[in-house]
Amino acid sequence: MLIRFVTNAAVISAHTSRRASFDGSMRTRVNSDRASGPRRILAVAFFVMFLLMQVAVPLFQLTQPRPARFGWQMFSTLRADALGVSYHIEAAGGELIPVQLSAHFARVRLEIDHRTVLPPYLCEVTPGAAAVIFERGGTTTGRYPCP
């Protein structure tokens, strides 16, 4: 189907474009070079592919956990798993050190699953860390033991 679109588009005739000089006078010219086959094929191909991508990707992202990237899902939901979760590093002596997300992320983004990516990183950069603790509302909801 796409090939037929492109082939059909190649026979489309020239279009005109108008030029205005700074004194306001007008002249019209036929832009025959613009009308040539390859440029038209490229134009139609780009138009179709761009539009397909811009519809298909967000459509697919609607089936993914939200908010998903490239899906125009601004302020669409809250990550239930991330809501109100705080992180603590458990030192070797059992002491709990609170973690500021903004100190460890270049930008705190909701599309990123902090529970997956943060604990291994904290273990790696914190000397003597025994584990990373997740808390919600003062209750421990998870524990990632450092290797």
Partner 1 sequence: MPVRAFFDRLLRSAAPARPLAIARIVVAGVALAKAADLAPALFNLSGGEVIRLPYWGGAPDISMGMAWLLVSCWAAAGVGLLLGWRTRWTGAVLVAVMVAVLLLDQQLYSNHFYLLILLCLLLTIADSGAALSLDARRAGERETVPAWPVTLLKLQLSIVYGFAVFAKLNLFYISGAVLDVYWTRQGLYAMPDALRRMEVLFVLAAISLLAEAILAMAMWHRRTRHTAFVIGLGLHLAIIATMGPTWELTLFAFMMFGLYLLFLDATPRSRLVVWDDQCAFCRRWVMSFRRLDWLRVHRFVGSSDSSILTEAGVTREAADTAIQLVGGHDRRASGFAAVRSILEHLPASFLWAPILRLPPIEWLGDRAYRNVGARRSCEVPIRVKT
Task: Return the number of the residue (19 or 94) whose C-beta is nearest partner 1.
Answer: 19
- Footprint (CB under 8 A) of partner 1, residues 95-114: 103-107, 109, 111-112
Q: Are 132 and 119 in contact (CB under 8 A)?
A: yes
Considering only CA atoms, which of 40, 45, 46 is closest in space to residue 12?
40
> What is the nearest approach in angstroms of partner 1 to the Cβ of residue 94?
25
Q: Which residues bind partner 1 (CB under 8 A)?
A: 5, 8-9, 12-13, 15-22, 26, 34, 40, 43-44, 46-47, 50-51, 54-55, 58-59, 62, 66-67, 69-78, 80, 83, 103-107, 109, 111-112, 117-118, 121
